[in-house]
C-alpha cells in the first residue's frame, strides 16, 4: 500500500520549558527535538502495515524549516522509504493553514492511507489530520486506538468517554493515531546508515492564510510545594481531617 505519514518536529516532552524573549514562543535553546509522540506511533503503524501486507511504500511529510530534515531522516531510519519537506520559515499555530499545505501535496499522491498523530505535543490541537481528510474528501477516523487494514477496507476502534466504538471504512482514508496501537521502534544502526541514502525532497509549502496566531505564552502557575502528612495507615485519620476541614472535599 502507498501510505503517507505526516510528522511534526517537536521538543522532547520531558523538557523543562522557558518562555522565549518574544513571549510568543518557548525558548528553544538547549532543547532536544524529535518526531512528535503520536506521529511517531503513526510512523510505526505505517511500517507495520506495509511489512505485513507486502510491497508498499511509506512516505513521510513534514511542513517546516530545514531543521525538519533531521526529523524526516529519523523516520527513514525507522524504515520509511523517503521524505518530503514542505518548506516554510516557521510553522504557524494554525492547524488549517498547515493542513492546506499538506493537502495540496497529498492530493495527487495516489495514497491509500494517510496517517497523522492524534495531536501534536506542542500545539496539542488535534486539527491537522482531520482537516486534511476533509480537504482531500477522504474518509476519516480520528484518534484510533486500534487499526486493521485488509482488502481495501479498514476497521478501527475509538475511545469515547466511558465507551468505545468500532468503525469500518473504505480506503483511501485518513486515520489519526492515538496511543495503544504501536510503540515506535528504535532505529537500528543499519537503518540509520540506510536513511542517509534515501531520497529527501524539499518543496515550498503552500500554506493556507494564517488566521490563528499566538499572542502570548506563559508557564502555568506552580502548585504549592507538596507536604507529607505522615507514614502508614496511622496517617489516615489526619488525612480524613484535612480532606474535611482544609480541602473540604469530603
Partner 1 sequence: MSNILVFAETRGASLRKIALKAVTAGRALADASGGGEVHAMVAGPSGVAAAAQQLGEYGADVVVVVEDAALVNFNREVVAATLAARAKAGSYRAVVIGFSAQGRDVGPRVAVKLDAPIVTDVTEIGAVTADSLTVTHPGYANKVIATLEAKGPLVVVSIRPSAITAQPAARTAKVETMAPAADPAASRIVVKEVTEGGKGTIDLGDAPVIVSGGRGLKAPENFKLVEDLAAAFGNAAVGATRAVTDDGWRPHSDQIGQTGRQVSPQLYIAVGISGAIQHLAGMRTSKTIVAINKDKDAPIFKVADYGIVGDALEIVPVLTKAVQEAKAGH
Ligand X SMILES: Nc1ncnc2c1ncn2[C@@H]1O[C@H](COP(=O)(O)O)[C@@H](O)[C@H]1O
Q: Write out the residues near ligand X by the rule CB under 6 A.
A: 6-8, 36, 38-39, 42, 61-64, 91, 95, 98, 116-117, 119-120, 123, 125-129
CB of 250 to ligand X, least distance (A): 38
Report which DSSP code applies to 30: T
- Contact between 46 and 115 under an 8 Å Cβ cutoff? The reply is yes
CB of 179 to ligand FAD, least distance (A): 7
162 binds partner 1 per the rule CB under 8 A? yes
Smallest Cα–Cα separation from 32: which of 17, 48, 19, 15?
15
Q: Which does 80 bind (CB under 5 to 8 A by kind): partner 1, ligand FAD, ligand X, none?
A: none
CB of 62 to ligand X, least distance (A): 4
Q: Which does 6 bind (CB under 5 to 8 A by kind): partner 1, ligand X, ligand FAD, none?
A: ligand X
Residues in the chain: 250
What is the C-alpha to C-alpha distance for residues 232 and 66, in angstroms, rounded to an integer? 55
> Among residue numbers 171 through 210, which ones bind partner 1 (CB under 8 A)?
173, 179-180
Q: How many CB atoms lie within 10 A of CB 24?
A: 13
The residue number whose beta carbon is nearest to ligand FAD equals 37
- Contact between 1 and 149 under an 8 Å Cβ cutoff? The reply is yes
Q: How many CB atoms lie within 10 A of CB 158?
A: 17
Q: How many CB atoms lie within 10 A of CB 196?
A: 10
- Name which position in 5, 35, 36, 37 contacts ligand FAD (CB under 6 A): 37
Helix or strand run (H / E) with residue 234: none
236 binds partner 1 per the rule CB under 8 A? yes
Q: Which does 98 bind (CB under 5 to 8 A by kind): ligand FAD, ligand X, partner 1, none?
A: ligand X
Task: Give contact residues for ligand FAD (rule: CB under 6 A).
Answer: 13, 37
Amino acid at each position: 500500500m502507498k501510505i503517507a505519514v505526516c510528522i511534526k518536529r517537536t521538543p522532547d516532552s520531558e523538557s523543562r520549558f522557558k518562555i522565549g524573549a518574544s513571549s510568543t514562543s518557548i525558548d528553544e535553546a538547549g532543547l532536544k527535538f524529535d518526531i512528535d509522540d503520536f506521529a511517531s506511533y503513526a510512523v510505526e503503524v505505517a511500517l507495520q502495515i506495509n511489512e505485513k501486507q507486502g510491497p508498499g511504500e511509506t512516505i513521510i511529510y513534514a511542513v517546516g524549516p530545514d531543521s525538519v530534515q533531521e526529523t524526516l531522516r529519523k523516520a527513514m531510519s525507522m524504515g520509511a522509504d523517503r521524505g518530503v519537506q514542505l518548506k516554510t520559515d516557521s510553522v504557524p499555530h494554525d492547524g488549517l493553514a498547515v493542513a492546506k499545505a499538506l493537502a495540496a501535496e497529498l492530493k495527487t499522491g495516489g495514497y491509500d492511507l494517510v496517517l497523522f498523530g492524534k495531536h501534536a505535543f506542542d500545539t496539542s490541537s488535534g486539527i491537522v489530520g482531520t482537516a486534511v481528510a476533509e480537504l482531500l474528501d477522504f474518509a476519516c477516523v480520528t484518534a484510533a486506538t486500534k487499526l486493521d487494514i485488509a482488502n481495501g477496507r479498514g476497521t478501527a476502534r475509538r475511545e469515547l468517554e466511558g465507551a468505545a466504538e468500532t468503525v469500518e471504512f473504505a480506503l483511501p482514508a485518513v486515520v489519526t493515531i492515538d496511543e495503544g496501537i504501536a510503540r515506535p521502534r528504535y532505529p537500528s544502526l543499519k537503518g540509520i546508515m540506510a536513511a542517509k541514502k534515501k531520497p529527501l525532497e524539499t518543496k515550498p509549502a503552500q500554506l493556507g492564510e494564517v488566521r490563528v496566531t499566538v499572542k502570548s505564552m506563559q508557564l502555568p502557575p506552580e502548585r504549592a510545594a507538596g507536604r507529607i502528612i505522615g507514614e502508614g495507615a496511622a496517617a489516615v485519620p489526619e488525612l480524613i481531617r484535612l480532606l474535611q476541614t482544609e480541602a473540604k472535599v469530603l
